[in-house]
Structures are given as structure tokens and as C-alpha cells.
Amino acid sequence: MSSRSNAIKEENPYENAIAQLASVMQVIDVPLDYYEMLKVPKREIVVYLHLKRSDGTVSSFMGYRVQHNNARGPYKGGLRYSSLVDINEVRALAMLMTWKTALVDIPFGGAKGGINVDPSSTSGDELEVLTRKFVDEITYNIGPEIDVPAPDVGTNPQVMAWIMNEYSRLKGYNVPAVVTGKPVELGGSLGRLEATGRGVSIIAREAAKAVLKKDIKDVTVAVQGFGNVGSYTVKFLTEMGAKVVAVSDVYGGKLFKNGIDSFERLYKDYSATKSMKRLPYGEDISNEELLTMDVDMLIPAAIENQINENNANKISAEVIVEAANAPTTPMADKILEKNGIKVLPDILVNSGGVIVSYFEWVQNLEREQWTLEEVNTKLEQKLTKAFYDILQFSESKNVPYRVGALALAVERVVNAMKLLGWR
């Protein structure tokens, strides 16, 4: 049976998620019975999947789908394939999706799923069989009006295509709206691939205007991470005219004192070298040096816990725009707040993906295909409104943006629960 082997998480992510929920109870008035309902998911599905390998051996895997809250609409959340997947991680991420969809005001609730399988040690044919077995087990728990999965760590548009096909086969007709993040040829939305990075750049532009009181063209930016989110963030920010002076990947980074003059050249050269440090131009810097650079705006777009109690006092940026998931630790948050550094939280900043997933769902239900211009215009409208909703709410409550964002999301979910008469 696949397991987490020697990888042991230091903290329980579900306990952390509950602690976050508890932290906003001092900001908004939530009746105790609703708080108790929000602490736990509405439904947890755990299945055992048995897979006959190509060599004749049989392996067993655990699959999960946790549905946290659907007061505002069908459950929505990613499906991840990783040997580190466990029930507490999925519970925490399902709760996070409830807040994220409420914050950007799309008609979904929160869910998450996963299979504790290592995709790198499993063939494509085996992953397809495993995916279809998983769908067979949860068929009655997902659907366009029930629960709509999407890609996450270890999954991709191909996996979504398998889910769509297996679900449609069981239903007897084509159901593209059962998942989002599909290939465009099968009903996926234009603009989905770059949606998260585009969203980060939109939030950065509005933060420059509303928080820094500057035009984005007058703002210096450092971006940690050059994967899908980081690279698209750099692309769109340079197109907006921002001065991106530093970019890094897992191996280190480069300093461009005068800013990146051509993203196309940078991306082409990076694709050839596969490493920022191997680029023949720019000055070498470490990831730690990038984080502490004297810039207007810092965008962590890599992995979690990059800004922590060891380096928080060294952060010089006036604003941090969290493109990655949980790049700032709770202890660092307190230090940054004390030092007057504004943090725009991940729950807002990287929500572009789920917003365009919502657009994909709508297109599938209506059997339409929007143009890229339509998708991008609607994405900008949604994110801009969410940004100013958070600023106004946080300022009215006199709380940091992270607390304000979570409190606003929880308040919206609770209001829906009350209107529905949940007991």
C-alpha cells in the first residue's frame, strides 16, 4: 500500500485551519452553532483502490474526497495525486476552498480530494485505470450541481479528461461540466493555464495603486519562483510596465538592476538552460537575498513557509503579494505587521485559477465557448472587486488584510447558511 513513508508533517494542517477560523471570531459575530458546523466538513468520502500493475503485482491506494460546505453552491476543489496526501491535509484544503470561493464571490462551496499515489512511480496507463476506479467509487458524490473537481498537485488536464469520460460513460451521456481544467478541445476554458499568474499581476497592479499610491510602472518588483504562476506573473507585470528587478527558481536567482527588458528573451533563455543561475546575464543572487531586497513589492510564488521568523525582520518590501500557497508563516505575519509591511493573502492573490474554473463550468453548462478576451475581462472584473472588497472590509474592522479576507469570506458563508435555515 502506498504510504507517506518517512515524510512526517510537523503540524496538523486541519488543526491550523480550525485555528484560522477561530481567529476571525473576534472580528465578526458568528453564532456558536454555525461556528461548530464550519469547523467540520459536511461529508468525507474515503475509498480503497486496488490496482493491478503491469508487472502483475497489486497495489492498494487510499482515495479521499472531502466536501466542507455547499451553502453558496456546489462543492469545488482540486484533486491531487501525491504520496503525502492524507485526510487532514484534504480536510484543511477543503475548508480553504470554501473561504476562497466566497471571497471572490463565485457560487461554489469548498471541497478537496486526493489519492495517496506517487505519479512519478506510476505509469500513465496505471494512472488512468486508478483515476477511473476512483470515479467509479464516487460517481454519486460528484457532478455539475454537486461537486466539481479540478487539477491540483500531481494532476493535469489529461486526468480531468479521464474523469469526464468515465463519469459520462456511467451517466450515458456527455457531461463536460463535471470537472474543470480540462483540455480546451474537450470544453476547457481559454485562459485557464495562465489565469493564476494573470490574477497575481492584476492584484499587484491594484495594490500599487491603492496601497503604495503609485502607478505600476513606477514600482520595483522581486518575484520568487518561476514555475507556471511565477513565470506568467513576470510576463504580465512586464507587459504592464512594472520594473521586475529580480527573479528566482529553486536553484537561485538573478538580479536585473534596470529591470527585465524582454520577457520573451528571458523565457526563451530560461527554457534552454532550465536554471536562472545559468543565464548569461544578470547578477547571481540567492533566494534568501531576493526575499530581503529593497523593492516596493515582493511576490513569493514558490512554496510554503518562505517568509518565516528567521527572515521576516529583514524584509524590506512595502507590500507582499502572496502568489504561492502559505508562503508566510503565522510568526512571520506578526513580525511583518509590527514592521508596517502590508500582506495581500494567498486566498485572494492566487484565486485567478478557481475564478476561470468557474467560467469554464458556466461555459460547459451553457454549451458555449467564450473568447480569450471575454475570459480575461471577466477575470479582471471579479478580482478587482474582490481586492477592493477586502481593503474596505479590513479598514472598517481595522485588521490586517489576511484577517479581513478570511473574516469577509466566513461572513458570506455564514450569511448563506442563515438564509438557508441551516440548523
Active site residue 277: no
How many other CB atoms are there within 10 angstroms of residue 278's CB atom? 13
Q: Distance between CA 368 and CA 364 in Å, rounded?
A: 6
Q: Is the dihedral of CA 373, 377, 378, 380 positive or negative?
A: positive
Q: How many CB atoms lie within 10 A of CB 198?
A: 24
Contact criterion met (CB below 8 Å) for 242 and 219: yes
Catalytic member of 9, 42, 76, 112: 112
Q: Which three cell numbers stand for residue 197?
A: 499568474
**Which residues make beta-bridge pairs with 43?**
67
C-alpha cell at 299: 511576490
Long-range contact list for 277-284, CB < 8 A, 24+ apart?
A: 277/251, 277/252, 277/253, 279/254, 281/254, 281/256, 282/254, 282/255, 282/256, 283/254, 283/255, 283/257, 284/252, 284/253, 284/254, 284/255
Burial 62-90 (b: 16+ CB within 10 A, else e): bbbbbbbbbbbbbbbbbbbbbbbbbbbbb
Distance CA 110, CA 407 (A): 16
Collapsing DSSP to helix, strand or coil, 419 comes out as helix
Catalytic machinery residues: 112
